[in-house]
Chain A
Amino acid sequence: EPEVTQTPSHQVTQMGQEVILRCVPISNHLYFYWYRQILGQKVEFLVSFYNNEISEKSEIFDDQFSVERPDGSNFTLKIRSTKLEDSAMYFCASSSGTSGDIQYFGAGTRLSVL
């Protein structure tokens, strides 16, 4: 069964450093998402991406965050200058369409900001 792949599984970084989290969505999917889960809290929506542009973003997704689809297969989340509070599990998801369709999730990247 096709799956969403995320790398790395765990990323440790120093506060103020830039990090890039990588995702390979399912190959024929058109819609891409990032979510995060701070330890002990809900899974929260960050951003959705379609047709090479952001279609929706949450209030969490401020100027420190950016997303990109640099080629035909990867989808990345960049945090420009990490803060302690960015420590979380970050999930990538993809889907074939929007209304009513199913989002498939990767295993996540655990980001630890020291």
Chain B
Amino acid sequence: AQSVTQPDIHITVSEGASLELRCNYSYGATPYLFWYVQSPGQGLQLLLKYFSGDTLVQGIKGFEAEFKRSQSSFNLRKPSVHWSDAAEYFCAVKANAGGTSYGKLTFGQGTILTVHP
């Protein structure tokens, strides 16, 4: 069964600092990988996704993530954080076309990001 681990429950950074949120997954093959963000009172918004190809993917709001097969990781990064980035971030995995559960997303615990001015 697929699983996702986000080791950091809560991260605090200063505005303008760089950010890296960690995500590790467990899956038998290369899955589809996603990062979602949730601001208070909002739904889950897709930041970026990895399906295949270039292992460095760009997303919205200046975020990027790198898929590392050898480490089973898909860490999210941003070079300079803005106060508006404060939110909860979720990493998720979905089985690829060869899997049997190709519809459902499996989420990590989430990482709450606090941004200090």
Contact = CB atoms under 8 A, between A and B. Distances in A.
B104 A48 contact: yes
Interface stretch (A13-21, A66-74, A77-85, A96-104): A96-104
Given A42-B109, A43-B90, A99-B96, A104 B104 contact: no
Contacts of B108: 42
A56 B95 CA distance: 13
Contacts of B97: 99-100
Interface in B19-33: 32
Contacts of A108: 43
Contact of A102 (B46, B104, B107): B46
Nearest to A99: B97
B105 A107 contact: no
Interface residues of A, number: 28
A107 to B, nearest CB: 4
Interface string B96-114: 1100011111111110000
B83 interface: no
B36 interface: yes
Interface string A16-54: 000000000000000101010000011111001010000
A42 B41 contact: no
Nearest to B101: A56
14 contacts: A6-B43, A33-B104, A42-B108, A43-B44, A43-B90, A43-B105, A44-B107, A55-B103, A56-B103, A99-B97, A99-B102, A100-B96, A104-B46, A105-B44
Interface of B: 32, 34, 36, 41-46, 49, 51, 90, 92, 94, 96-97, 101-110
